[in-house]
Amino acid sequence: MEETSQNSTPLFDAVKRYVDSDVTPFHVPGHKHGRGISELRKYVGKRILEMDVNGMEDLDYANNPTGVISQSQKLLADAFGADNAYFLVNGTTSGVQAMIMSVCEPGSKIIIPRNAHKSTIGGIILSGAIPVYVQPVINKQLGIAMGVTTKSIEHAIKNNPHAKAVFIINPSYYGIASDLKSIVSLAHHHDMAVLVDEAHGAHMYFHCDFPMTAMQAGADISAVSIHKTAGSLTQSSALLLKSNLIDPNTVKKVMSLTYTSSASYLLMCSIDIARKQLAVNGRDILEKVLKLSRYAREEINKIRGLYAFGNELIGTPGCFAFDETKLSINIAGLGYTGYQLENKLRKEYNIQMELSDICNILAIISLGDRKQDLDLFINSLKDISAKAKPNTYPYQNALPDSPEMVVCPREAFYSPKKTVSLENSIGEISGEMIMVYPPGIPLVCMGERITKDIIEYIKVLKNERCQIQGTADPYVNYVKVLGSNFIT
């Protein structure tokens, strides 16, 4: 496929032709070009609702594409260096789960970092796979999980030589990347497929100053969030495949199990356009993004009590490379928790952060950011620092240790459960995931033993009024645990 073909948007062009033809619709969706939902039409305009259509011959069918969707997916694969690419309209969650289900069957082992996103656990439950957890390096100063080391993956492979796959995060929410190429080489030497969660790395394919991507490293399959950092609409992602170990027909069969039969053309068109933009102009666009990120990091590091960490972490345990567009800021020196500072920025300065934790806040710098936005952010942090009382940080940085897995997640999911108070759950086996969202990494997974340290950490999070998810009780006063036959 010639480079100039990346200037085209087959699907988007077909949808525009459909809208311009002024067709009389007797197909779903029922709002019929927005006429049936006038309040929304008045607010967003008619054009976007005219584009909200369903599968037909002119527009192709997402479940079995042979026309313009197929053409656009081929362009997507070419742009990202893959052999096959698939539009995802249920976020990278659906891609992560499809990856696992394409490789694993009930009883298969899969090696994964313990700080993997909740969608990974969902994929394990759906596939019936057995997780072999690898602990990431913990940076106690920053209070965050780093990447997994090649040595830790090697150890897991040695102890589980029949595992089907190795699952890697590239990069983490905080921008940390492991030595992906070495891990791929190691896994392939043992005939294990490499699955990569690149939810936060779609942009990295289009500029050489970013960590190595999954396709560049020789990984077999990758799920990328086009919407997070590459410009498409929320919920639109892609699955990339380039493998001698995974059959494209298997991937297609797995996707057909969970893929909607009414894929959003708005979401798919946004992927088509975002791909074109980055394939044609990505380097120049991302050069500006990197310039903004470097400027902001330098200015923030001049502010008392703040540390915007970056490339200096490269070479420290668990950090092989770093994505500079993740503007992660350790704020412990201000005397606030990250949750408190996020709330303060939103309520007093009208600035919304991407993520906060006990020790840090995170800003994602991407295609749509402007210098005046960053100047507003920097000046707000200066104002907060000037008014803050330092050395009054209320909590320790230490994250609780990862708990012991007693029962595999699928068995725990289907097992009888009982409800107990959070206080009385020490020693019980969790029947649900408990996580802070974002980033969506479980503190406790289904089938893991709940410890006192985890409960104390959850209490701190509740006190900070952060968003805890996964439990049937939205206030996390009660948790579901496995029935008495599993208590040991």
Q: Which residue has the tokens 């362009």?
A: 75
- Gyration radius of the chain over CA positions: 23
Same domain, 107 and 244: yes
pLDDT of 45: 95
pLDDT of 488: 47
Within-domain flag for 111: yes
Among residues 253, 278, 303, which one ends one of the domains? 278
Among residues 326, 353, 387, which one ends one of the domains? 387
Same domain, 295 and 243: no
Per-residue pLDDT 10s for the chain (488 aa) are 344 489 999 999 999 999 999 999 999 999 999 999 999 999 999 999 999 999 999 999 999 999 999 999 999 999 999 999 999 999 999 999 999 999 999 999 999 999 999 999 999 999 999 999 999 999 988 989 999 999 999 999 999 999 999 999 999 999 999 999 999 999 999 999 999 999 999 999 999 999 999 999 999 999 999 999 999 999 999 999 999 999 999 999 999 998 998 999 999 999 999 999 999 999 999 999 999 999 999 999 999 999 999 999 999 999 999 999 999 999 989 989 999 999 999 999 999 999 999 899 999 999 999 999 999 999 999 999 999 886 655 555 567 888 999 999 999 999 999 999 999 999 999 999 998 877 878 899 999 999 999 999 899 888 888 888 899 999 999 999 998 655 44
Within-domain flag for 401: no
Separation CA 137–CA 391 (nearest Å):
26
Same domain, 287 and 436: no
Identify the CATH number of the domain in which residue 203 sits.
3.40.640.10
Same domain, 370 and 413: no
- Structural domain including 324 reads 282-387
Q: Which residue has the tokens 């902001």?
A: 296
Within-domain flag for 328: yes
Q: Closest Cα to residue 131, out of 411, 396, 355?
A: 411
Within-domain flag for 467: yes
Same domain, 120 and 215: yes
Separation CA 12–CA 19 (nearest Å):
11
Within-domain flag for 404: no
Same domain, 319 and 377: yes
Same domain, 87 and 190: yes
Within-domain flag for 216: yes
224: which 2 tokens?
């990328």
Identify the CATH number of the domain in which residue 442 sits.
3.90.100.10
Within-domain flag for 399: no
The values of phi and psi at residue 354, to 5°, are -75, -40
Separation CA 191–CA 345 (nearest Å):
49
Same domain, 87 and 105: yes
Identify the CATH number of the domain in which residue 322 sits.
3.90.1150.10
21: which 2 tokens?
């033809």
pLDDT of 439: 80
The values of phi and psi at residue 367, to 5°, are -55, -30
Within-domain flag for 396: no
* C-alpha distances in Å from residue 164, one per residue of 132, 133, 303, 481: 11, 14, 48, 29
User: How many distinct structural domains can be found in the chain?
Assistant: 3
Same domain, 246 and 102: yes
Q: Closest Cα to residue 153, out of 172, 140, 136, 129?
A: 136
- Maximum C-alpha span of the chain: 68
Q: Which residue has the tokens 């988007």?
A: 12
Residue 149 and residue 178 in contact, taking contact as beta carbons nearer than 8 Å: yes
Same domain, 30 and 117: yes
pLDDT of 85: 98
